[in-house]
Amino acid sequence: MNSEIFQSQFLTITGTNEISIYKGELTKQALVEQTKRVLKMFPKFPQPMLEELKNAFADNGFSDERMKDAVNHVRDTYEGWDKLPNIANFIQFDKKIKVLTYDELVILVNEKTAKMCDYIPINTGLSKPRWVLKELQEKYKLELWSKK
């Protein structure tokens, strides 16, 4: 494994049948770039807290892209002009999409609230596929299911 890569993130399913759209690696280079941006935006951000932010990005399975988007999100939405953001302001950021089991999809089709032809199976690392809207699979380039 490349020593410049802290960790590789794979799709993870939460209890609500959602997956993060982010996958990929967290690299030292991106970590340095994004923490420099945090310091530029918030010059009084304490160094010990910045070190913990770096650890939090790694501990929470961030990819380079998710980390950059999280920093952008804090920049664009933080309203505490007289205060500093905390680690949670960055870490809570994620973009998720809904996934369905085949049985859940069949129920929606039977209820006429979904069409089978609008969904496609993707690989989430589980033994069975999860189904997402085709447009989301294409938009986020999610790996299609294939029996191995």
The answer to whether residue 90 sits within a structural domain is yes
| Structural domain harbouring 124 | 99-140
| pLDDT tens by residue, 70-112 | 999 999 999 977 789 999 999 999 999 999 999 999 999 999 9
Is there a single domain that holds both residue 81 and residue 62? yes
Domain stops at, among 96, 111, 130: 96
Is there a single domain that holds both residue 104 and residue 91? no
Is there a single domain that holds both residue 18 and residue 56? yes
Is there a single domain that holds both residue 42 and residue 27? yes
> What is the average per-residue pLDDT within 56-74?
97
User: Across all residues in the chain, what is the average pLDDT?
Assistant: 89
Is there a single domain that holds both residue 122 and residue 65? no
Is there a single domain that holds both residue 12 and residue 55? yes
pLDDT for the residue numbered 6? 43
Residues written for the chain: 148
> What's the N-to-C CA distance of the chain in angstroms?
24
The answer to whether residue 39 sits within a structural domain is yes
Domains identified in the chain, total number: 2
d(CA 74, CA 81): 12
Is there a single domain that holds both residue 34 and residue 103? no
Is there a single domain that holds both residue 30 and residue 69? yes
Is there a single domain that holds both residue 30 and residue 60? yes
DSSP 8-state secondary structure symbol assigned to residue 148: -
